[in-house]
A and B are shown apart, each in its own frame.
Chain A
Amino acid sequence: MRHIKVLLAQFPLETHSRGIITVAGMLRDSGMEVVLLGNATPQQIVETAVQEDADVIGISTYVGGELTLSTDLLNEATKKGIRDRTLFLLGGVFPPRSAVELQKMGFRGTFPPSSTKEEIVACIEEGMKAWT
């Protein structure tokens, strides 16, 4: 298995961090390299992903607006030429309908609060395998 680098971020005004800290720990325990960016705009997230050469961008969201901001995130990734070589994941509290929309838009996985480490890690590993 190749080395996997994950960038974890929250949209700018997100106030909840338990989810992102939990997932950061899970991914580290699974041998991945984790960059915990915290609150950032879609532009800042993509910029950091480019600098860090991240394979995965994971977003943690609890306060709504996930569809609007994820659209911006994907557009920005296209602009910077990393969309096709980045795996996009999103976790947190969001309506079931958003999960369907996000997957249509190109998110590899969406993870509500009850998601397990195994589910998240499997999603990333399978996504990486699909490329190489």
Chain B
Amino acid sequence: MDPGRTTKEILNETRSQTERTPLYSPAALEKLSNSLDQWLNSVVSDRDREQFHTTPISLVGFDLPRSLLYTPLNIAGTTYEDLGFPGQEPYTRGIHPNMYRGKFLTMRQLCGAGSREQINQRIRSLLGHGASGVNLILDAATIQMYDSDEPEAKGQVGTVGAPIDCSEDMDTIFQNIPIDETSVSIVTHYPQNTAILMPMYLVMAERRNIPWGTLQGSVQNDFVMETVVRSAPQYISPRNAFRIQCDNIEFIRKHVPKWNCVTLNGYNVREFGTSGITEMSVALANAIETITEMQRRGYEPDYTGERIAFFWSVASDFFGEVARLRAVRRLWYRIMRYRFQAKNPRAMWMRCHVQTSGLSLTREEPMNNIVRAAYQALAAILGGAQSLHVDSYDEAYSVPSEEASLLSLRTQQVIQAETAVTDLVDPLGGSFYIESLTNAMEQSILDELDEIEKMGGLILAVEKGWLHRCIHDHIAKEQQMIADGRIKLIGRNYLRSAEAKVPDLWVHENDAEAEAMIGQKLRLRREQRDNQELWRRIDNLRLACRTNDNVMAFCVEAVRAGATKGEIRRAFSEAFGTWTPPRWL
């Protein structure tokens, strides 16, 4: 790797060096150009000719103009080397030779609301209906790493996800679920929380005599989530959060080899308020800094890259989303191959989980959301995603009901079993439009990545408030476009029904009694453990934070002694000190 050059500079150089065979002869292109001009001037109306290029406007969209028609002229510079065959470099058409014929994507619906027993029941019900993976979402207290009985947690336990205080709580949630055969994603969001919840999961597996080497799944572990997307009473600095991110990667990579130790979360960055371009440039910048830091620690990019995964939002600009997934797949390959000289194909595969866009769901006429999510799911599949969660129609009211959750799973299964779109690989590949859009997306993502790298990298950009400003400005701009109707949302600001009915939906409500019981159980556990031993281990963790030792190893030790999430969070903030994020206003 050359630290003096940006990724864009490196890639531009290699591009000119690689062999490229034009798909169209100059004579054919010239003839086409002439006949296109003729068509434009004799058949196309004045109005259409004047507005030949328009920029579609959609929520969290792209700002990329589209023409009325695409022809080979739009991809005259594209060669088949830019596409390749699926399962081969540059993986534009997919990471596997047979894609969904071999294995359909992992149908992984988010799960987690109510008591731990109810969550266990919902997970088993979805698996029983054909879901192929688990996706555990956490309640506000668990996401923010507060114990269920801390004063800040009041009213927010078990409302929008699973309440997990200590390792034993994992026992109940995963009871009778074959975790050695089922891929489990734990939506940990932050590096700190990954260092807390992953050990709790591992220690639970230990109690069940399941070797860590058999465990498959993923955590998020993304410092951007912790320092930009998160809103919290207290933060540690981006630099420290990034250090924990890399500690987690180092530990998990070594001890839980089949586990995806980092899932760079573009989704929440975009849904918070960025374009689909920024979503990807930020995640790629994080990946580049992560691989570089791991190299500094003595790990080859081939080793680290193999277990890096991505998490994308797929919104409503249908072809834009398909093109974007193809673009980032090619770009990731190029980064790994040319910036990091990777040789291991797995390290060059852009493997991703997709969630349909929650932001695009409306509270008005919620059944319309079923249609939105289905189109978005289809775009994810045509884009070649590895894993998918389809949002439920009732999510502008509540976490999904059991019925809505099953409908989301069925949406995926209908695409799989009834539409025949999964019988071939990359069905849209070769379309003049899709290839042209794929090129444009790749260029835009790379341009923004270049901007971040020229600022000194992502950590610095976050510290300086660049991403905070991007998000703030995007939200303001988008809000204006919703208000003036340029962004159209059916039933909300466009074709709104005269009589707005409040639909009769099941909603999940907070249960104060259940919250009190969870608190009681936690207090009992604190009394029953060997507290002297526990605090000795927490002291060791604090010490590890201040030295270069891997913090996750010490978290595992603390969790084995019964540590709770709040206790570990406090150890982190005491050791690292707190950080004041840039202001939003």
- CB pair B272–A114 under 8 Å, yes or no, is no
A21 to B584, CA, bound (A): 7
As a 0/1 sequence over residues 462 to 483 of chain B, the CB contacts with chain A under 8 angstroms (1 = contact) are: 0000000001100110010001
- CB pair A96–B502 under 8 Å, yes or no, is yes
A69 to B141, CA, bound (A): 14
Contacts of B144 in A (CB 8 A): 12-13, 15
- CB pair A13–B146 under 8 Å, yes or no, is yes
Closest to B489 in A: A114
Closest to A70 in B: B155
What is the interface residue range for chain A against chain B? 35 or more
Residues 44-84 (chain A) with a chain B CB within 8 angstroms: 62-69, 72
Contact among B146, B156, B272, B507 for A97, CB-based, below 8 A: B507
A38 to B582, CA, bound (A): 12
A66 to B509, CA, bound (A): 10
- CB pair B154–A65 under 8 Å, yes or no, is yes
Once A95-B507, A96-B502, A114-B492 are accepted as A-B contacts, the answer to whether A69 and B154 lie under 8 Å apart by CB is yes
- CB pair A64–B479 under 8 Å, yes or no, is no
Contacts of A41 in B (CB 8 A): 151-152
Contact among B139, B160, B509 for A95, CB-based, below 8 A: B509
Interface residues of chain A, those whose CB is within 8 Å of chain B, are 10-18, 21-22, 24-26, 28, 34, 36, 38-41, 62-69, 72, 93, 95-97, 112-114, 116-117
Contacts of B362 in A (CB 8 A): 113-114
Closest to A68 in B: B155
Once A10-B231, A39-B231, A63-B140 are accepted as A-B contacts, the answer to whether A93 and B397 lie under 8 Å apart by CB is yes
Q: B233 in the interface, Cβ–Cβ < 8 Å? A: yes
Residues 17-47 (chain B) with a chain A CB within 8 angstroms: none
Once A12-B152, A25-B479, A113-B363 are accepted as A-B contacts, the answer to whether A64 and B397 lie under 8 Å apart by CB is no
Q: B550 in the interface, Cβ–Cβ < 8 Å? A: no
Contacts of A40 in B (CB 8 A): 233
Q: Count B-side interface residues using an 8 Å CB cutoff.
A: 46
Q: List 19 A-B contacts (CB under 8 A).
A: A11-B156, A12-B153, A15-B230, A16-B231, A17-B231, A18-B273, A21-B273, A21-B471, A41-B152, A63-B160, A64-B159, A68-B154, A69-B156, A93-B398, A96-B397, A113-B362, A113-B363, A114-B362, A117-B479
Contacts of A69 in B (CB 8 A): 154-156
As a 0/1 sequence over residues 128 to 172 of chain B, the CB contacts with chain A under 8 angstroms (1 = contact) are: 000000000001110110100001111110011000000000000
Q: B510 in the interface, Cβ–Cβ < 8 Å? A: yes
**Chain B contact residues, majority secondary structure:** loop
> Min CB distance, A61 to chain B, in Å?
9
Q: B232 in the interface, Cβ–Cβ < 8 Å? A: yes
Contacts of B151 in A (CB 8 A): 41
Interface residues of chain B, those whose CB is within 8 Å of chain A, are 139-141, 143-144, 146, 151-156, 159-160, 229-233, 271-273, 359, 362-364, 396-398, 471-472, 475-476, 479, 483, 492-493, 502, 507-510, 512, 583-585
A93 to B508, CA, bound (A): 12
Contact among A11, A14, A26 for B479, CB-based, below 8 A: A26
> Min CB distance, B339 to chain A, in Å?
33
Contacts of A18 in B (CB 8 A): 271-273, 359, 475
- CB pair A25–B508 under 8 Å, yes or no, is no
Contacts of A17 in B (CB 8 A): 231, 272, 584
Contacts of A65 in B (CB 8 A): 140, 154-156, 159, 510
Closest to B508 in A: A64
Contact among B152, B232, B479 for A22, CB-based, below 8 A: B479
> Min CB distance, A132 to chain B, in Å?
27
A114 to B497, CA, bound (A): 14
- CB pair A114–B152 under 8 Å, yes or no, is no
Contacts of B507 in A (CB 8 A): 95-97
> Min CB distance, B226 to chain A, in Å?
11
Interface centre among A18, A64, A112, A117 (most CB of B within 10 A): A64
> Min CB distance, A53 to chain B, in Å?
19
Once A36-B584, A96-B397, A113-B363 are accepted as A-B contacts, the answer to whether A67 and B146 lie under 8 Å apart by CB is no
Contacts of A39 in B (CB 8 A): 231-233
> Min CB distance, B36 to chain A, in Å?
43
Contacts of B160 in A (CB 8 A): 62-64
A18 to B26, CA, bound (A): 50
Interface centre among B140, B159, B364, B396 (most CB of A within 10 A): B140
- CB pair A64–B272 under 8 Å, yes or no, is no
Contacts of A66 in B (CB 8 A): 155
A73 to B231, CA, bound (A): 20
Contacts of B232 in A (CB 8 A): 13, 15, 39
- CB pair A25–B398 under 8 Å, yes or no, is no
A25 to B479, CA, bound (A): 9
Contact among B152, B159, B396, B472 for A63, CB-based, below 8 A: B159
Contacts of A21 in B (CB 8 A): 273, 471-472, 475, 584-585
Contacts of A28 in B (CB 8 A): 585
Contact among B272, B363, B472, B483 for A112, CB-based, below 8 A: B363
Contacts of A117 in B (CB 8 A): 479, 483
> Min CB distance, A112 to chain B, in Å?
5
A120 to B388, CA, bound (A): 36
Contacts of B479 in A (CB 8 A): 22, 25-26, 117
Interface centre among A18, A36, A67 (most CB of B within 10 A): A18
Contact among A25, A64, A96, A116 for B140, CB-based, below 8 A: A64
- CB pair A13–B483 under 8 Å, yes or no, is no
Contacts of A72 in B (CB 8 A): 154
Once A38-B231, A97-B507 are accepted as A-B contacts, the answer to whether A13 and B475 lie under 8 Å apart by CB is no
Contact among B146, B155, B359 for A64, CB-based, below 8 A: B155
**Closest 6 A-B residue pairs measured CB to CB?**
A64-B159, A65-B155, A68-B155, A12-B152, A95-B507, A63-B140
- CB pair A67–B510 under 8 Å, yes or no, is yes
Contacts of B398 in A (CB 8 A): 93, 95
Contacts of B140 in A (CB 8 A): 13-15, 63-65
> Min CB distance, B229 to chain A, in Å?
8
> Min CB distance, A129 to chain B, in Å?
24
A39 to B476, CA, bound (A): 21
Contacts of A15 in B (CB 8 A): 140, 143-144, 229-232
Closest to A64 in B: B159
Closest to A71 in B: B155
Beyond A15-B143, A95-B398, 4 extra complex contacts between A and B, CB < 8 Å = A13-B156, A63-B139, A65-B140, A114-B492
